[in-house]
Structure 1
Amino acid sequence: MTVTVYLELHVPSLPSEVAALPWNLWFATWIGMVEPKAGKAYELTLRLTTDAELRVLNRQYRDRDTPTDVLAFATRDQALPFPSEEPEYLGDIVISAETAQRQATAANHPFLTEVSWLACHGLLHLLGWDHPDEVHLSRMLAQQARCLETVGLTPPLLC
């Protein structure tokens, strides 16, 4: 399986390590854990930006006039056949680097852990996961923890 990640960094003060992370490998590993399809190719966009942009997107698409940490815009439609020889574009994951930094500081873990955690959360949404209640949220958070552990990261401790 191959995954192409289009990384967009729209925060001037973003640590340079974010761009150096093995995003393609991590996303391929995570997809393989929850949706194994041998030989399939995927594409997605990972955008790190500001609270201001997340606020605009959250207001426009979710009718919530507040910034948030991550939004996922899935393009997958199970009703439409997709040519297997072409990469499937899963959608866009948009993360507020500012909120991620605040959350990392509050939880006393590295910024890169928080960004990876949020990226994985967004990916699960692109793959159709949701958390409308506590049971689904617990399941999703447990999957995120397994995904991070699989790529050698320590998941954040959840209260």
Structure 2
Amino acid sequence: MQVEVYVQNYLNEYSQSESIKIEDIHIPITSQTWENWFNCWLEILQPSISSTAYEIGLRLTNDSEIQELNAQYRQQNKPTDVLSFAALEVDSPIPSEALASMPLYLGDIVISIDTAQQQAQKQGHTLLTELAWLASHGLLHLLGWDHPDEESLERMLKQQVKLLKSVGISIDIE
């Protein structure tokens, strides 16, 4: 199984952010690391899918841009930590010939570095850990997971802990 992750980094424009200046932040995760993580996570989450390749878009941005997206797509005019835009319908069968001939596009994950950094400080862990946490959460949403109630949220959070552990990151949830 191979995952292509298209990482778009907003850091070129980050110097305009009032809360974090570009020289104050370093994203400690390479594109190759993202691909390795998503490969590992998909092997855990989708062992029965026979696709040889997946595509995921990952955009690291700021609060201003994610607020615009949140307002446009969720009618919530405020920043958030992560948004997921799934390309697949959860219950739609995928033709096997499509799986064999081209990468399966799962969708896009957008993460606000501003919010991730604030949450990392509040939780007492690194930005790397928070970005991995948010990316795993976004991936679960791309695969159809949701958390409309406390029970499903608890299942999702436990799955995220398992995913992070699989790539050598340990995190405690309360």
- Normalising by the smaller structure, the TM-score range is over 0.9
Identity of aligned residues (%): 47
Query: Is 1:71 the equivalent of 2:80?
Result: no
What is the CA distance between 1:35 and its match in structure 2?
1.0
Provide the aligned C-alpha RMSD in A.
1.5
Larger Rg: 2
Alpha carbons 1:49, 1:97 under 8 Å: kept = yes
**Residue type matched to 1:15 in 2?**
H
- Distance across 1 between alignment mates of 2:61 and 2:34: 17
Q: Residue in 2 aligned with 1:9? A: 9
Alpha carbons 2:50, 2:99 under 8 Å: kept = no
What is the CA distance between 1:39 and its match in structure 2?
4.9
- Distance across 1 between alignment mates of 2:27 and 2:117: 14
Residues 116-151 of structure 1: CA distance to partner in whole angstroms, max 9, x if unpaired? Answer: 000000000000100000000000000000000011
Q: Secondary structure at the match of 1:66?
A: coil
Structure 1-normalised TM-score? 0.93
Q: Secondary structure at the match of 1:128?
A: coil
Runs of 4+ aligned residues of structure 1 deviating over 3 Å after TM superposition are: none
Q: Residue in 1 aligned with 2:17? A: none
What is the CA distance between 1:19 and its match in structure 2?
2.7
**Residue type matched to 2:44 in 1?**
M
State how 1:91-130 maps to structure 2 within 5 Å.
Answer: 91-130=107-146
Alpha carbons 1:7, 1:19 under 8 Å: kept = no
Residue from 136, 143, 151 that aligns with 2:152: 136
What is the CA distance between 1:21 and its match in structure 2?
5.8
Question: Can you give the 5+ residue segments of structure 2 that lack an aligned partner in the other structure?
Answer: 15-21
**Alignment: residue pair count:** 158
Moved more, 57-66 or 79-88: 79-88
Query: Is 1:26 the equivalent of 2:37?
Result: yes
- Distance across 2 between alignment mates of 1:30 and 1:79: 21
Higher helix share: 2
Question: Can you give the 5+ residue segments of structure 1 that lack an aligned partner in the other structure?
Answer: none
State how 1:22-61 maps to structure 2 within 5 Å.
Answer: 22-36=33-47, 37-61=49-73
